[in-house]
Structure 1
Amino acid sequence: MNDPLSFWWLTLLLVGALIVGRVLAGLIWRFLRWVTPQTGRIATRSAQRLPGRQRLANAVSARFPRTSAWVAARFAIDRFTGLPLTLMVLLAGYLVSLGTDLAEDVIEGDQIVKMDHRINIALAPWRNADLLHVFAKITHLADIMTLLAVVLVATAFLWAHRRFRYIPGLMMAVIGSEALTYTAKYAVDRARPDFLTFASAATPSFPSGHATGALAIYGFIAYAIARDLRSTAVRFELAYWSVVLIVLIAFSRLLLSVHFFSDVIAGLLVGGFWLLAGFALTEYLNERSARP
């Protein structure tokens, strides 16, 4: 096993990764803000120029009125229950597919198990004693009692600011993600990796509850804050640094050798699914309350 690197070298690498990540994320954000309207206009013009488009649409609508109306409603862009909800459902389904495939590979395959062990061993140079204590503090941000306190404080703030429609979405993200995580833990019953540091854990390994809770809870809180922000620049900063926090918590589980890599990925998939569910419920409630 390789000797740990210097604490300051590791800190410099982490800070450098954050700076590079911030620059790249900013460039991607600017590119998407530029290209999305352009792509929409081009697609609209192309669709309008298709020969016989309106005639075909009228014929289909006359032959299958209910089906046509349902499909049109699913792709409407003037309300959340149209195209935005459709895209969310498709993404949620994709996350479910990835999660079930990953669980099957963990239970039945040995390739992913070998990969997990290789990644755990490869992190040995990062297990500097000082850095481990820093990441031990970071990992505590997603302990069950810490997350419970965060949820209670967030709920109190939402209630105090009369943002009642956000509370059911937050509760759905919390309860759904934790229930599915602990059900999967004892259903798969995967052993933890060898505890190579001072950290330890008692529950089964797959999936990571810390990764699940971090994404579902901190992700929803970031969404609730960003939802009413007017500045897109501030929204971007909030989103980026929220992602950084979640990634650091997820990485802490690997560095402390209490989870395998696939455990963390599975936890993020579970958290992502229930985060989308919380988004969908909140946006639906917001849209319904705005109707005359």
Structure 2
Amino acid sequence: MAPLPFWQLLLGLICILVAGHVLAWWAWRALAFSGPRLGRGITGMARRRKALAWLQRRAPATTRFVGARLTVERFSGLPLTLIAGLAVYLVFLGAGLLEDLFEGEELVQFDQHVNSALAVVRNPHFLEFAGAITALANLETLIAITLVSTGFLWAHRRFAYIPGLLVTVIGSQAITYIGKYAIARDRPDFLTFASASTPSFPSGHATGAIAVYGFIIYAIARDIPGVRRRFELAYWGCALIALIAASRAILSVHFASDIAAGLLVGGFWLLSGFALTEYLRQRADMPGR
């Protein structure tokens, strides 16, 4: 299958980003308007004594625990509950993906099909573009960005963010490289100028991109005012992460499942970094500290 012309590929990418921007802004606005009301509604339901009087009499400790987990006034309430639930969900997704890799031929066939289908985008000029994008998540680049980000956080006295950043980066990279050599999956055939020497599963570039850039997006967006500013930062940051992940498959150095596994590993540790940072921020804001 002959690759498409570069201008068609570039125009298609621009259209995808623009369409994604419109849809994401609509979803963001819907969440911004309905999320707080939903959270207050859940909390209010937990506090309605008439509806829950029988539960309070029979299990007062359980009632207090559930109410504390659903409150929106503290990070340890509903926000932490949602983060923990999502983290557990990512673990189950990763376990299912790993099981399919070892026990099912369908995943292997799917990976081969995707790799073959991507021949249509392997235009030499588009491959150069993909190579420039993928370089943003090389290990050396991620280490440098992490060190610079730590320095900026320290200089701006945002000390609560530094442990979360380090936990996110170190934890995600450690699990990734343990998984690579424990599973020892062969990489796809190198069909472009790109190559790699480490095992294929999971993708270290995908892991590092979502861990490092995801935490930087969070650290910047956490305290800047304005819904629109936060959205633009989050969308284009996530678009960069998606482009880095896609570039690994386009360059034929990873299968699609390698990339998915890397995003799951990085996402889990990113949520862990969020939780640690918010916990430290909450402690720093407590009276008497």
Q: TM-score, normalised by structure 2?
A: 0.95
Q: CA-to-partner distance for each residue in 1:76-106, whole Å, 9 max, x for gaps?
A: 2210011111111110000000001101111
Pair 166,44 (structure 1): closer, same or farther in 2 beyond 3 Å: closer
Report the 3-state secondary structure (helix = DSSP H, G, I; strand = E; otherwise coil) of the residue aligned with 1:123: helix
Shift of the alpha carbon at 1:23? 1.2
Structure 2 equivalent of residue 94 of structure 1: 89
Shift of the alpha carbon at 1:71? 2.2
Structure 1 position 141 matched with structure 2 position 136: yes
Structure 2 equivalent of residue 36 of structure 1: 35
Cα RMSD of the aligned pairs, angstroms, is 1.8
Cα separation, 2, equivalents of 1:83 and 1:75: 4
Query: Which among 161, 168, 173 is matched to residue 173 of structure 1?
Result: 168
Shift of the alpha carbon at 1:75? 1.6
Q: Which amino acid aligns with 1:239?
A: A
Q: Which amino acid aligns with 1:19?
A: V
* Unmatched segments (≥5 aa) in structure 1: none
8 A Cα contact 2:187 2:200, kept in partner: yes
8 A Cα contact 2:206 2:262, kept in partner: yes
Shift of the alpha carbon at 1:40? 5.2
Structure 2 equivalent of residue 275 of structure 1: 270
Report the 3-state secondary structure (helix = DSSP H, G, I; strand = E; otherwise coil) of the residue aligned with 2:224: coil
Pair 37,160 (structure 1): closer, same or farther in 2 beyond 3 Å: closer
Cα separation, 1, equivalents of 2:50 and 2:11: 63
Structure 2 equivalent of residue 4 of structure 1: 3
Structure 1 equivalent of residue 68 of structure 2: 73
Shift of the alpha carbon at 1:66? 2.8
Pair 30,179 (structure 1): closer, same or farther in 2 beyond 3 Å: same
Q: Which amino acid aligns with 2:85?
A: L
* Unmatched segments (≥5 aa) in structure 2: none
Report the 3-state secondary structure (helix = DSSP H, G, I; strand = E; otherwise coil) of the residue aligned with 1:17: helix
Cα separation, 2, equivalents of 1:41 and 1:32: 14
Cα separation, 2, equivalents of 1:209 and 1:41: 40
Shift of the alpha carbon at 1:64? 2.8
Report the 3-state secondary structure (helix = DSSP H, G, I; strand = E; otherwise coil) of the residue aligned with 2:181: helix
Cα separation, 2, equivalents of 1:166 and 1:43: 29
Cα separation, 1, equivalents of 2:162 and 2:195: 33
8 A Cα contact 1:107 1:188, kept in partner: no
Query: Which among 255, 262, 265 is matched to residue 250 of structure 2?
Result: 255
Q: Comparing 272-281 with 99-108, which one deviates more in the overlay?
A: 99-108
Query: Which among 184, 187, 196 is matched to residue 192 of structure 1?
Result: 187
Shift of the alpha carbon at 1:188? 1.2
Q: State the number of aligned residues.
A: 287
Report the 3-state secondary structure (helix = DSSP H, G, I; strand = E; otherwise coil) of the residue aligned with 2:11: helix
Structure 2 equivalent of residue 284 of structure 1: 279
Cα separation, 2, equivalents of 1:61 and 1:85: 23
Structure 2 equivalent of residue 122 of structure 1: 117
Shift of the alpha carbon at 1:118? 0.3
Structure 1 position 217 matched with structure 2 position 216: no
Q: Identical aligned pairs, as a percentage? A: 57
Pair 66,259 (structure 1): closer, same or farther in 2 beyond 3 Å: same
Shift of the alpha carbon at 1:41? 6.5
Structure 2 equivalent of residue 13 of structure 1: 12
Shift of the alpha carbon at 1:59? 3.8
Report the 3-state secondary structure (helix = DSSP H, G, I; strand = E; otherwise coil) of the residue aligned with 2:25: helix
Shift of the alpha carbon at 1:38? 5.1
Structure 1 position 264 matched with structure 2 position 259: yes
8 A Cα contact 1:181 1:209, kept in partner: yes
Cα separation, 2, equivalents of 1:65 and 1:167: 38
